[in-house]
Amino acid sequence: MENEKISTIYDNQKGLRIGLLIIADAIVLFLSYFFAYYLVYSFHIPFNEIRGIIGILIGAIGIKLLVFWFTQMYQTLWRYASIEELWQIIGSVVSANFITIVFFYIVSMRIPTTVLVLTFIFDLILIGGIRILYRSLRQMKSGSRGEKHLVLIVGAGEAGIKMLREINNSKKGLSVAAFIDDDPNKKGRMLNGVRVLGGRDKIKEAVESNGEFEEIIIAMPTAPKRDRIAIAEICHATGVPVKVLPTIEEILEFDISEQKLRDLQIEDLLDRDEVTLDKQAIGETLNNKTVLVTGGAGSIGSELCRQIIRFHPKELIILDINENALYYLELELGRYIKEILNPMGIHVTLTVRIASIREADIMKEIFLDLKPQIVFHAAAHKHVPLMERTPREAVKNNVFGTINVLNACLTAGVDRFVQISTDKAVNPTNVMGATKRICEKMVQVYNQENPTECVAVRFGNVLGSNGSVIPIFKDQIARGGPVTVTHQDITRFFMTIPEATQLVLQAASMAKGGEIFVLDMGEPEKITDLAEKMIRLSGYEPYTEIPIQFVGLRPGEKLYEELSYNLEAFDRTTFDSIFVEKPVCYDVGQIREAGTALWQAANGDADGPVIEGVRRMVPEFVTDFNQNKNGRKSI
């Protein structure tokens, strides 16, 4: 019963404000008629006319207020009145005066024409003027202390309160107007001077009744993913810009601040269950260890580094050939160590090396010098169309670069090697996928003969990674379209970069050697649906405002991807999101012989022998190489 009373507070206050506005309008309408009669009677109204005039006033004011009500004039509050609403006021005043004149004519009540004209003029001046005056005074007051842009915060928990304090202490000109929270016990309460309007069902109403929200902030870092998705969709539908406070897992050491806010992204609308990690097992694997990440400045590699450093390794070694990305990542992680870890008494050595995995001697030199205990191998060429046109480069980098890293691991006595693989390695139809399948086989071959525990982790596409559809679609939308999709029925598995890297670390903690871990990617997503969501997320309507164009499958591209050769070969792990393919024993002699032939072909001057060499190592590889190689329009 008490909750029901609390839940009506906001509605009652809104009704009170409208009631006060009606009273103010009644006073203004009275003054309009009073001034009109006062002027008509030359500033002296005869006493015997007063009773009749009062009857006219009561009838006229009542009719006009009813017209104002039915023309929705009271849906705009005084403090939000603007020029746009002034036109609505003019229309309402014209309608009200016309209906009043008709009424007086029907009841045969004679009113001087001059009074009607003056009343209409006064109504316009006073009804419209008082609103514009209030608006102007409010703007002047805001300008005197700096214009305040109104913000609605969704989430009145600890994160929302901290965000409110951050905004109040900042100098960015923001002002929190209200909270939204699904907790019925908070509905109607004042938190730090800001009222909780109600649950998510109040978001649309709050935005419609307040035409000046500059921003909606979703501050629910601990809420279940499905709740965050539902609320994000409601907020996005309002048309107001939406900012999101990332999940606690994304906020390093629970650092909640304005700087952590980001725009609503397609990842926020991806319907995937939360990942539950055994952080103790991951910590036992990484804590106080020397960990090396190849391709550490890439989209997957850099996120691996961000996740690894949270488990406090003794030393984190980042190896990449991209000097710019490596430089900025070093600055980022260096700040994290200095500002977050060091004050906690935790010391992590951060080491960066610019090097190519194609240089076998350099790899051995680095590994012998730094003595890593765990290696995550994320370095690879990943762009399918480019690798179709340059298969020798794909083989040299992906296959023999991986072999160089594996050999360096053996030389330096690395405890565990984790290969980052892809769903394109399953029944590959492109060179990139086939080279990754060879890498999976090499991992298992090396594991058979050596003490280093060698495993691979296979997963599908990650949202937002370099070269993925997300940045491509964003650029196309920014240019006004069209958004290009290769086929209307094409599907892909997707997960976020943080989710993928967290599961990679979890799989690494479970490794015994020889496994290929497969991450549960959920249900495949139609690329067309993804394009439509991104267009709407950008504030446009697909097909009408931003066209979607189907351009045909690119060389080596499939309509759908697979995560395993044989679902029956899967073994479940203790984690619902991770499966494992049973280790396979290969004929090492045959693999070495095929690898030698492939090396010779890759260092030759023709691509044909390379394709044949890849087919020899991956018999299931299917490709129309000549067509793919010449597919220049596939970019």
Chain segment 531-543, per-residue pLDDT in tens: 888 887 777 788 8
Query: Which is higher by pLDDT, 5 or 327?
Result: 327
40 vs 264 pLDDT, higher one: 40
Higher pLDDT, 448 or 14: 448
DSSP state for residue 513 in the 8-state scheme: S
CA distance 388 to 607: 10
Torsion 539-542-545-546 (CA) sign: positive
pTM above 0.75, yes or no: no
Alpha helices in 261-349 (DSSP H): 279-286, 299-309, 323-336
In this structure, the strands spanning 349-354 and 242-244 are unpaired
pLDDT, position 134: 64
d(CA 413, CA 373): 8
Q: How far apart are CA 517 and CA 528, in angstroms?
A: 29
Please tell me which residue, 74 or 377, carries the higher pLDDT value. Answer: 377
The span from the CA of 379 to the CA of 171, in Å, is 43
As a whole number, mean pLDDT of residues 600-617 equals 92
Q: Is the pLDDT of residue 434 over 50?
A: yes
Asked if residue 148 has pLDDT above 80, the reply is no
Q: Which residues of 509-540 are buried (b: 16+ CB within 10 A; e: fewer)?
A: bbbebbbbbbbbbeebbebbebbbbbbbbeeb
> pLDDT-based confidence at 244, cuts 50/70/90?
confident
- Average pLDDT estimate for 160-167: 82
- Report which of 108, 129, 104 is spatially closest to residue 116, judged by C-alpha positions: 104
Distance CA 565, CA 426 (A): 6
So where are the chain's domains?
A: 2-143, 149-264, 279-344+354-634
Q: Known catalytic residues?
A: 424
> Distance between CA 608 and CA 626 in Å, rounded?
9
Q: Which amino acid is at 119?
A: T
What pLDDT score was predicted for residue 304? 94
Average pLDDT over residues 484-491: 86
pLDDT, mean over the chain? 81
pLDDT tens column, 582-595: 777 788 888 889 98
> Helix, strand, coil: what percent of the chain each, to 5?
55, 15, 30
Question: Is residue 214 helix, strand or coil?
Answer: strand
- The residue type found at 262 is R
Distance of alpha carbon 174 from alpha carbon 472, whole angstroms: 33
The reported pLDDT for the residue numbered 571 is: 76
Cα–Cα distance for residue pair 154/206, rounded to 1 Å: 11
pLDDT classification of 569: cutoffs 50, 70, 90 = low
In 3D, which of 234, 225, 239 has the Cα closest to residue 200? 234
| Cβ–Cβ < 8 Å for 481, 542 | no
pLDDT digits (tens, 9 = 90+) for 546-557: 889 898 877 766
CATH architecture assignment, domain 279-344+354-634? 3-Layer(aba) Sandwich (3.40)
The pLDDT tens digits for 339-397 are: 889 988 999 999 999 999 999 999 999 999 999 999 999 999 998 889 999 999 999 99
Confidence of residue 338 (pLDDT cuts 50, 70, 90): very high
What does the angle CA 525 – CA 529 – CA 530 come to, to the nearest 5 degrees? Answer: 75
- At 270, the amino acid letter reads L
The strand pairing partners of 215, in sequence order, are 151
Answer whether 149-264 and 279-344+354-634 agree in fold. Answer: yes
CB burial of residue 308 (10 Å; 0-12, 13-18, 19+): buried
Q: Decide which of 492 and 325 is more confident.
A: 325
Of the pLDDT bands very low, low, confident and very high (cuts 50, 70, 90), residue 325 is very high
Q: What is the DSSP letter of 542?
A: B
Helix (H) and strand (E) counts in the chain: 23, 22
Residue carrying the six token digits 């908070």: 186
List phi, psi (to 5°) of 396: -60, -45
Q: Given 1.10.3720.10, 3.10.310.30, 3.40.50.720, 3.10.450.50, which CATH number is that of 149-264?
A: 3.40.50.720
Higher pLDDT, 85 or 576: 576
Distances (CA, A) of 2 to 5, 183, 187, 188: 5, 14, 11, 12
